[in-house]
Amino acid sequence: MQPKMRWGSLIKKVKLFWSLDVQKTEKWLAAMSAKGLHFVAVNLLTRQFSFQEGSPRQLTYRIGCEGPNYALPKTLINSGWTKVFGERKWYVIVNEEPPNELKTYPVRTGLIRRNNWLLLLCSIILIYGAVNLSIQLTLLGFMAYISTPITIVPSPWWVLTPLIFLAGIAFWSGIIYTCIALVRSNRNLGERVKEQIKDPNSTANVIKKRNYFWVYSPDKLEQWLETMEEQGYNLVQVGSYARSFWFEKGSPRKVKYSVDY
């Protein structure tokens, strides 16, 4: 029997870099719900999260990044997932079932695609900065080598030099931090089943199979998945870019699959 929810005031908290590590943010939202603060919305501009006071509950959150017209698949809805927030490409879903009983999770392809795009952008900026710095250092070294006199012209604007220097350090530090965070986030995304396999307390018999060329014939992928189900291998997870598939050994069942991309 679920506890009766008693809603209270609205509480707001700022989390600036929440989108760089969504798994950490998901755990944070779950921890807040355990304290009786349930996620309501997030301001994508100010990074401000809104929470409604209520009864403490054990909830599981998942954050996704898809198109603005993204609709929650029926498979997730039937598994107890509910969409609680959606704005632009971002959405947040929640499940009230105990975490150890959850078998169906949303795919992370959209998040990985976004992270890869941001990582490419940050890498280009870093390369540009490194090349620009190398050119300036080369010119300074050349001027020092030929003993070219350097004249410093007095100006009241020199007072801004330390501020510009500090701003530059903050900017480049932020770019480097973003790259590291995105690489770590991509590495951790989609690891739920892998952790389950490595968990010595897990009784699930999970196998992994790869299918690289299904995009050329989606109907064959559908037939393959349905055949696996008939053999008792139930699909529980799809890896990045839908190339790896995890199956849990269970009971044979008749399941109809439809592949769309």
Pull the structure tokens for residue 98.
Answer: 């105990």
Lowest mean pLDDT among 3-7, 63-67, 174-178, 185-189: 3-7
Predicted pLDDT at 75: 79
Lowest mean pLDDT among 20-29, 61-70, 88-97, 224-233: 61-70
pLDDT of 201 strictly over 60: no
Predicted pLDDT at 251: 82
Pull the structure tokens for residue 25.
Answer: 């943010």
Q: Are residues 82 and 142 in contact, defined by beta-carbon separation less than 8 angstroms?
A: no
What percent of the chain clears pLDDT 90, i.e. is strictly above it? 29
Predicted pLDDT at 239: 67
Predicted pLDDT at 56: 93
For every residue of the chain, DSSP letters joined together read -PPPP----EEEEE-TTGGG-HHHHHHHHHHHHHTTEEEEEEETTTTEEEEEE------EEEEEE--TT----HHHHHTTEEEEEEETTEEEEEE-S-GGG-------HHHHHHHHHHHHHHHHHHHHHHHHHHHHHHHHHHHHHTT---PPPP-GGGGGHHHHHHHHHHHHHHHHHHHHHHHHHHHHTT-HHHHHHH-TT----EEEEE-SSGGG-HHHHHHHHHHHHHTTEEEEEE-GGG-EEEEEE------------
Q: Are residues 66 and 89 in contact, defined by beta-carbon separation less than 8 angstroms?
A: yes
Predicted pLDDT at 34: 94
Predicted pLDDT at 203: 44
pLDDT of 225 strictly over 80: yes
Q: What is the mean predicted confidence (pLDDT) over 16-32?
A: 93
Pull the structure tokens for residue 86.
Answer: 């959606």
pLDDT in tens, 123-155: 999 999 889 888 888 887 877 777 766 666 776
Domain residue extents for the chain: 10-107, 114-188, 192-249
Predicted pLDDT at 157: 73
Q: Which residue has the higher pLDDT, 213 or 4?
A: 213
Q: What is the mean predicted confidence (pLDDT) over 52-56?
A: 91
Predicted pLDDT at 220: 85
- pTM above 0.85? no
Residue 68: burial class (beta carbons within 10 Å; 0-12, 13-18, 19+): exposed
pLDDT of 200 strictly over 50: no
Average pLDDT in the chain? 82
pLDDT of 205 strictly over 70: no
